[in-house]
Structure 1
Amino acid sequence: MNRLFLTTAFLLAACQIDEAKAPDPVTLTADALGHFCMMQVDAHPGPKAQIHLAGLPEPIFFTQVRDALAYVKGSERDADILAFYVSDMGVPGSWENLGPDNWVPAPAAHFVVGSDVRGGMGAPEIVPFADAQVASDFAVRKGGEVMTLDTIPAEIVLSPVEIDLDKETQS
């Protein structure tokens, strides 16, 4: 009986899938370059994103959350996503200076989609918040609808948009 128990325990342990812990967000530094634009991320106003991919030691950064969502919802990825973080626009600070460690996991964030603000690259921005009420308050002031990561339609971030560099980007 002991032998059967030990054999069963061993087989169960051998078959158990070891879940890897998602990487923590990294501090945004002046060395971070936008994945699509290859420009210095912290030189642009508005929310940012970082995505950790399997096989890469460092995350890829995005100068706009909209761009990161296009990456996530698009089909042109080369590796599995291990973690996805976005700026929490509900913390004290400004649209120009969010702080280097202001990150919230994207799956837990509340996104305002369709507001009248533009991100750091001039495209309409999708604005993330950790707190649903703060997101709702922002949507009342700036327009848009609060959505979760899973409910943002792919076509919203994959469709072409008009870039207006003259339009105010501040929240």
Structure 2
Amino acid sequence: MTRATILGALVAASLLLAGCSQEIAGLPKPPPQEPTATSVAYFCSMGLLEHGGPKGQAFRAGKSEPVWFSSVRDAVAFSMLPGEPKDIVAIYVNDMAKARNWDRPEAGAWVEAHDAWYVIGSDYGSGMGGNEAVPFSDENAARSFASAHGGAVRRFDRIPQEYILDGVPLDKAEKSEQAAMQ
């Protein structure tokens, strides 16, 4: 194969993927659902309600049932991992600004993941243990939580991949991310 052929194939694939992303972005977002006793977490295949803390759910194009996550960290990881589906129409996470119970957030306490403010690096761990990204619909609520429990406030697209996927502490993940940008 010539370089021009390879380059042409890469450009065509990029355009195709960009078109798919635009099609998915234009699809209506289904409303969040409430977990039940039969809801199973995607990564661990355990009952979702067996784990405390905020949860996540993702809707794929053409699917009426969400993919469930026992932690917000897992929902964010699902969107980052290269081997996972990219036809995600919406991701919802428990809105801890509305929830009064950390272990069992109340029904209706959901926010679209891309609209949330996250506290990362706090003293609160995920339902499965390890780093958590604690979501809030309200920036002031997120900042208040970070002030009380440590951590930093970030938007969805600013959560360091190493923090989520590798369990790297926040300060090291951010230093690594800054070094990679230079």
Q: Specify the alignment match of 2:95 in structure 1.
A: 88
Query: Distance in 1 between the 2:168 and 2:42 partners?
Result: 18
The alignment-based identity, stated in percent, is 40
The structure-2 alpha-carbon separation of the partners of 1:92 and 1:66, relative to structure 1 and needing over 3 Å to count, comes to: closer
Cα distance in 1, alignment partners of residues 152 and 167 from structure 2: 20
Shift of 1:26: 1.1
Aligned residue for 2:31? 24
Mapped pair 1:117 → 2:124: yes
DSSP-derived class of the 2:39 partner: coil
Q: Which has the higher helix share?
A: 2
Query: Per-residue deviation at 1:142?
Result: 0.6
The more displaced of 34-43 and 127-136 is 34-43
Task: Indicate the structure (1 or 2) with the bigger Cα radius of gyration.
Answer: 1
Query: How far is 1:45 from its partner?
Result: 0.8
Matches of 1:140 and 1:100, distance apart in 2: 26
Larger relative contact order, structure 1 or 2 (CA cutoff 8 Å, min sep 6): 1
1:57 Cα deviation from its structure 2 partner: 2.5
1:40 CA displacement: 1.1
1:167 is matched with: none
User: Structure 1 unaligned runs (5+)?
Assistant: 1-16, 163-171
Instruction: State the AA in 2 paired with 1:20.
Output: L
Structure 2 gaps, min length 5: 1-22, 170-182
The farther-off stretch of 70-79 and 42-51 is 70-79
Q: Which residue of 1 aligns with 2:5?
A: none
Q: Over aligned residue pairs, what C-alpha RMSD do you find?
A: 1.9
**Residues 79, 54 of structure 1: alpha-carbon distance in 2 compared, 3 angstrom cutoff:** farther
Aligned length: 146
Deviation at 1:79, TM superposition (A): 4.2
Question: Paired residue for 1:67?
Answer: 74
TM-score of the aligned structures, taking structure 2 as reference length: 0.75
